[in-house]
Chain A
Amino acid sequence: MEHEQHLKLLRATALGDKQAFSQLYQATCAQLYAVSFKMLKNKALSEEALQEAYVRIWHNASEYQLGKGTVLTWMISIVRYRTLDLIRYQSVRNEHALEQDADDIATLNVSAFEHSDTTPLKMEECMDELDSEQKQAIHFAYFNGLSHQEVSASMGSPLGSIKSWIRRGLQSLQRCLSI
């Protein structure tokens, strides 16, 4: 239902419907902001990433295709790339906050997957099949936007091990997801 509602609003947005775009923003901004803030740990920069993302969504709404995942997943892709750009250009992360994230990652909102789209559930199942190190390294990279070196520092493991865990973890996901 959520995806259908978003898709309806996005289609109207692609036709220049400002009201629909406003509704799409209201329906999705908290999720996109959570993604950006988790990575940046900085309110002003997270808001900047969010603004950039929605400006792009407005201009590129007609480029969405179902092959890019649900509307929300597609929008998360956009805000995440913008956030990664900001991370590259800014030194914004708080190391103390990163340490706290090790615990936070274990308590993510699994109930968010309780809807009809099977892609998130399949992804969850496949993530659960990974070795704990692989899963943790991928989580650190994804949720905090960390480089291999930064994941290495956060997990206290050698860089070579981190690269290997991430590479093998992604290969396992590929097999499990039949990509």
Chain B
Amino acid sequence: MNYLIEERRNALAAEYVLGTLRGGARRRYQQLMMQHQLIRETTWVWEQYINVLGHRLEPKPPADTVWQVISDRLGFEDTIHTRDKERGKLQPFPGTKLWQSVAGLATAAALVLAVLLLRYQPLDKAPAQYAVVQTQQAQALWLIEVDEKQIKVKATDKLAQQANNDYELWFVAADGRAPVSLGLLPQTGEKSLNKSDLFDTTELAALAVSLEPLGGSPNGAPTTVLYTTELISL
């Protein structure tokens, strides 16, 4: 198919910019943009018309914290340096042999915190299980809720945000198999992760959080395990 024919080129560009070009077609179009200047330019033309629709929305100021996160990520502030110093106080997890024993450090205090944090949040249905990821100084970093369909994760303001790294969540099975990634954790705000079938088929020893290069583990295994926690039913 010749994508450079004017009619086809404009039709694809318009649907790409509108957002109705999905899945494989969208990915193929992005490849075409990289290959053909003409397709890039056609896309820009449609962007400058279609996206003026966005001017029509009433402005909605975001929270002040958004700028703080952006400036942190771009290294504008000295906060990362300060937070990294705090990070140095944390003891990296030594090895997989101790998954379960370290998971036991998710203490009753974490459970109380989970209840306190969640009791004021209206929920559509009874949540299944909770976990709190915390430092050895008992600072809560993430609140995790695992319900029937998904894993909801909320980052707290105690979390040291990393501009050049991601945090990744892992399912550590009791049967000794290699940890299975559950996805990247948010560094601010909330995020929903897909719930692995493992939760329904395999006994969980612990949830673990690792520090990874941007984009997650490069080899499917946790790089530097920072924290572990237990999943608790309330």
Contact = CB atoms under 8 A, between A and B. Distances in A.
Interface residues of B, number: 46
Nearest to A127: B53
A47 B63 contact: yes
Interface of A is mostly: helix
Nearest to B14: A170
Interface in A39-88: 43-48, 50-51, 54-55, 58, 65, 67-70, 72-74, 76-77, 80, 84, 88
Nearest to A46: B62
Interface of B is mostly: helix
Contact of A30 (B11, B59, B189): B59
B198 to A, nearest CB: 20
Given A44-B191, A51-B69, A38 B20 contact: no
A81 to B, nearest CB: 8
Interface in B1-48: 10-11, 14-15, 17-20, 22, 41, 44-48
Given A58-B74, A142-B19, A170-B18, A179 B55 contact: no
Contacts of A76: 51, 54-55
Contacts of A67: 41, 44-45, 48
A148 B150 CA distance: 25
B190 interface: yes
Given A55-B70, A67-B44, A167-B11, A73 B18 contact: no
Contact of B47 (A74, A141, A145, A151): A74
B188 interface: yes
Interface in A121-179: 122-123, 127, 138-139, 141-143, 145-148, 151, 166-167, 170-171, 173-174, 177, 179
Contact of A92 (B55, B58, B69, B192): B192
A54 B57 contact: no
A116 B63 CA distance: 30
Contacts of B17: 77
Interface residues of A, number: 66
A30 B53 CA distance: 15
A50 B62 contact: yes
Interface string A104-124: 000011101100000110110
B115 to A, nearest CB: 22
Contact of B61 (A30, A65, A110, A112): A30
Nearest to B163: A55
Contacts of A80: 19, 51, 54
A5 B69 CA distance: 25
A69 B62 contact: no
Interface string A3-38: 000000000000000100010010001110111011
A34 B47 CA distance: 18
Contact of A44 (B10, B46, B58, B186): B186
Contact of B51 (A50, A77, A112, A122): A77
B58 A51 contact: no
Interface of A: 18, 22, 25, 29-31, 33-35, 37-38, 43-48, 50-51, 54-55, 58, 65, 67-70, 72-74, 76-77, 80, 84, 88, 90-92, 108-110, 112-113, 119-120, 122-123, 127, 138-139, 141-143, 145-148, 151, 166-167, 170-171, 173-174, 177, 179
22 contacts: A25-B67, A31-B54, A34-B54, A45-B190, A47-B65, A47-B69, A47-B188, A50-B62, A51-B188, A73-B54, A74-B47, A76-B54, A77-B51, A108-B56, A113-B52, A113-B56, A123-B50, A141-B19, A142-B19, A151-B20, A166-B15, A170-B15
